[in-house]
């Protein structure tokens, strides 16, 4: 026979389990506690990402300070129209990501899906524009390192760029490909995250009581947008 105190503890445990929503992990007491922990974790991750890109920004500043004429000459060979178009696309995608969060908070599942699809579509546009931009650089031999000046990586071919470019302009294009390529990788990762959130939303996982993944995914996408806001003027506009 169980003791009254044991029965009371058992009933309390059953009551706690009954009140524990399925979307709250077992090691959290409430949905709010889980949300706060997830959001704090994402902000810490964002801080580490900013530190990583910050190192590249410092390298850019030091190299430009040492040889400013190289960077001034190199930035004229970047397509400012394409860069500006991608900036507008990413700014708009940040808006749609924020609207997806708001729709999820209101329990509007179809609207949330629509905003997420538009955000992912904007990411695709960004990558397509970047593909054409990279293709032009490769064709002209505007490449980093020992490939600089040789179209299609053909080291025996004559340089295919304008003679006005300094020979050490490969430093500028090395940083250009490193910084924009790393950012492009983050765009692809962001698309995968938002795609996963979209699938879960279509499955009906989210509600006004639980939309953590939507907000965390949008936070990551805002990071992608923020980094590009710095990259665009730094590489394309500042001479």
> Is 6 a domain residue?
no
> Is 86 a domain residue?
yes
Q: Look at the block and give the residue holding tokens 């959001």.
A: 39
Question: What would the pLDDT profile of 3-12 be if each residue is shown by its tens digit?
Answer: 444 444 444 4
* CA atoms of 235 and 86, how far apart (whole Å): 13
> Is 29 a domain residue?
no
Question: What would the pLDDT profile of 91-112 be if each residue is shown by its tens digit?
Answer: 999 999 999 999 999 999 999 9
Q: What is the number of other CB atoms lying within 10 angstroms of the CB of residue 209?
A: 12
Q: What is the CATH number of the domain that holds 200?
A: 1.20.120.80
User: Which pLDDT does position 10 carry in this prediction?
Assistant: 46
User: Which pLDDT does position 87 carry in this prediction?
Assistant: 96
Q: How many domains does the chain have?
A: 1
Question: What would the pLDDT profile of 148-179 be if each residue is shown by its tens digit?
Answer: 666 665 554 445 555 567 777 788 888 999 99
- Tell if the pTM clears 0.85, that is, is over it: no
Question: What would the pLDDT profile of 53-82 be if each residue is shown by its tens digit?
Answer: 999 999 999 988 988 888 888 888 899 999
> Is 2 a domain residue?
no
Reported as half-sphere exposure (CB side, CA atoms, 13 A), residue 181 has a value of: 9
The answer, yes or no, to whether residue 90 has pLDDT greater than 70, is yes
> Is 14 a domain residue?
no
User: Which pLDDT does position 164 carry in this prediction?
Assistant: 62
- 173: domain range? 39-237
> Is 9 a domain residue?
no
> Is 116 a domain residue?
yes
φ/ψ of residue 210, rounded to 5:
-145, 110
* CA atoms of 100 and 59, how far apart (whole Å): 36
Higher pLDDT, 142 or 3: 142
> Is 13 a domain residue?
no
- Residue 158's alpha-carbon distances to 147, 172, 210, in angstroms, are 12, 21, 60
């Amino acid at each position: 026979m169980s003791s009254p105190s044991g029965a009371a503890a058992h009933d309390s445990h059953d009551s706690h389990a009954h009140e524990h929503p399925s979307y709250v992990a077992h090691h959290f007491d409430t949905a709010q506690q889980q949300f706060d922990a997830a959001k704090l974790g994402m902000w810490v991750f964002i801080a580490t990402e900013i530190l990583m890109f910050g190192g590249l920004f410092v390298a850019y500043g030091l190299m430009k300070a040492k040889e400013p004429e190289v960077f001034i000459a190199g930035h004229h060979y970047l397509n400012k129209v394409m860069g500006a178009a991608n900036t507008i696309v990413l700014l708009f995608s940040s808006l749609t990501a924020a609207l997806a969060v708001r729709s999820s908070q209101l329990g509007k599942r179809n609207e949330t899906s629509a905003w997420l699809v538009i955000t992912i579509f904007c990411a695709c546009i960004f990558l397509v524009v970047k593909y054409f931009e990279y293709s032009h650089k490769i064709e002209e031999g505007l490449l980093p390192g020992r490939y600089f000046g040789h179209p299609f990586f053909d080291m025996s071919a004559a340089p295919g760029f304008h003679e006005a470019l300094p020979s050490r302009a490969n430093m500028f294009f090395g940083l250009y490909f490193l910084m924009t390529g790393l950012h492009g990788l983050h765009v692809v990762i962001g698309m995968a995250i938002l795609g996963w959130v979209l699938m879960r939303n279509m499955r009906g996982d989210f509600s006004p009581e639980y939309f953590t993944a939507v907000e965390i995914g949008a936070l990551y996408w805002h990071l992608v947008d923020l980094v590009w806001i710095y990259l665009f003027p730094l590489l394309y506009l500042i001479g």
